[in-house]
Structure 1
Amino acid sequence: MTLFLYDWAKNIQNAWLAPRCPVCAAAIDAAAPLCAGCHADLPVLETQCRHCAIALSESAATRVCADCARRPRFDHALAGFHYRQPIAWMIGGLKYHRHLAHARLLGDLLAERIALQAPEPPDLLAAVPLHPAAFRRRGFNQAERIAIRLADRLGWRVERDVFARVRDTPHQSALDAAQRAANVRDAFAARRDLAGRHVAIVDDVMTTARTASALARTARTAGAARVDVYCVARA
């Protein structure tokens, strides 16, 4: 009877405490970020500009968009996914509802996409910074949380305080393209000499890429020889 009760208790414990898919709540292996079904349904961004990660037609003759053909925004860019569900839900839960476990999940999923390309590891990985006032309001930097997990999974080097956001700018989502460019102009400063360094910037979402482009200019002004950008989603 004692053994029966023990087995019964273990079965109940496993049923309640087993790892669950954060999207559909199905039981999953502890090493898997999502269940197989939800993983297969992710809005993977397959065909994208190699310099800004904007989505391109599958039939595009080149993997460079018209804008980057004239002037590349970054040396290399990669977005893991389209900004669609359930990725948008994961990002929103992290940013606006403090679902911090989503940072690990998003970092894992982005690491999977990056690993498929086997890119040259950067000298340092740096997240898009928040202004101190914005950090106090939110309590954490979602891009930094993702970057830390990403670096851990890929064996890369993440560094904090490489850049500072020196202006507390309004949210980019409420602005049009021209306003976004003006909003982040001179918004960042480098806190160290980046001469000859290969820098990779991490963000959660790129829409117009104005924020990441402004940060890339700051990195190049500080001497960076190459600037890449990795983001979870491209809108």
Structure 2
Amino acid sequence: MSIFCRKFLNSRLNIKQALLSKSCLLCGGAAQSDFCSPCGDSLPHLPPHYCPVCALPATESRVCGACLANPPAFHLGLAAVNYAFPVDALLHSLKYQKNLAIAPVLADLLVRRIDAGALPDFIVPMPLHPVRLRERGFNQALEIARRVSKRLDIPLLPAICRRVKDTPSQTGLPWKERGKNIRDAFACETDLSGKRIAMLDDVMTTGSTLNELAKILRKCGAAHISGWVVARTLSGDS
């Protein structure tokens, strides 16, 4: 994976210019889209078989034993890629360096994985608490969701769910603590009876955050809930 040179990626000072010039976002070479063919082929793609609920690798594309024994509140989990380099670097650049031009790139990776024959009625981006939103200045999940909504012509509901609990970041917490940390963090009063909802977030690690939001959507009457993420962390303790 030498083409994914960290030094080069970190030295890109104007990602928007790279996108507008149709050069590869990773290596700078000529490209017809966001990535040249070699870089696109070398992205950290998910294995061919994975659980359709938690999106973790499996020997067959069937619901895994863990999801059968303890089903989450959402029915389907879908990820575009594995949370590994260079996708992790792109997500970090979006979230912490405010490179908003990366959001459509990540959204397009997700769009390619979505079954156009089974689209939901609405997309609900993962909400940020107002404190975190003021600190960051934007919600990365919403920025990605805008592009997905436009590409698939699915209405976006960015304000029906609220994050009412300013919890510590899930990053760095032991995975067994994450469900407790995010408990009762969301609120929603919109009637979603019979609707198919896709929650959208940037990364899924243990699934605790998606699961907690899905519980609220089910209480509002949602009939089918999917969790769409750009990247899936394949090791549960990360």
TM-score by length of 2: 0.85
Preserved contact between residue 125 and residue 200 of structure 1 (Cα < 8 Å): yes
SS of corresponding position for 2:213: helix
**Hey, what does 1:160 align to over in structure 2?**
158
Letter in 1 for 2:179: A
SS of corresponding position for 1:173: coil
Letter in 1 for 2:223: A
**Hey, what does 1:66 align to over in structure 2?**
65
Name the CA distance, whole Å, in 2 between partners of 1:80 and 1:165. 25
Name the CA distance, whole Å, in 2 between partners of 1:168 and 1:151. 27
Choose between structure 1 and 2: higher helix proportion: 1
Structure 1 residue 61: Cα displacement: 4.0
**Hey, what does 1:27 align to over in structure 2?**
30
SS of corresponding position for 1:129: coil
| C-alpha distance 135-210 of structure 1, shift in aligned 2 (>3 A) | same
SS of corresponding position for 1:99: coil
**Hey, what does 1:223 align to over in structure 2?**
221
**Hey, what does 1:12 align to over in structure 2?**
none
TM-score by length of 1: 0.86
| C-alpha distance 82-173 of structure 1, shift in aligned 2 (>3 A) | same
Letter in 2 for 1:79: A
| Superimposed CA distance per residue, residues 35-82 of structure 1 (whole angstroms, 9 cap, x where no aligned partner) | 1111111111132211111222xxx14521111112332211111111
Q: Note the residue ranges of structure 2 that are not aligned, 5 or more in a row.
A: 1-17, 234-238
Structure 1 residue 200: Cα displacement: 0.5
SS of corresponding position for 1:199: strand
Name the CA distance, whole Å, in 2 between partners of 1:81 and 1:89. 13
Preserved contact between residue 194 and residue 224 of structure 1 (Cα < 8 Å): yes
**Hey, what does 1:9 align to over in structure 2?**
none
Structure 1 residue 119: Cα displacement: 4.4
Q: 1:136 aligns with which of 131, 134, 137?
A: 134
Letter in 2 for 1:226: H
| Superimposed CA distance per residue, residues 125-154 of structure 1 (whole angstroms, 9 cap, x where no aligned partner) | 011100011000000000111111111112
Shifted more, 175-184 versus 101-110: the winner is: 175-184
Preserved contact between residue 18 and residue 28 of structure 1 (Cα < 8 Å): no
**Hey, what does 1:6 align to over in structure 2?**
none
Structure 1 residue 118: Cα displacement: 3.2
Percent identity, please. 41
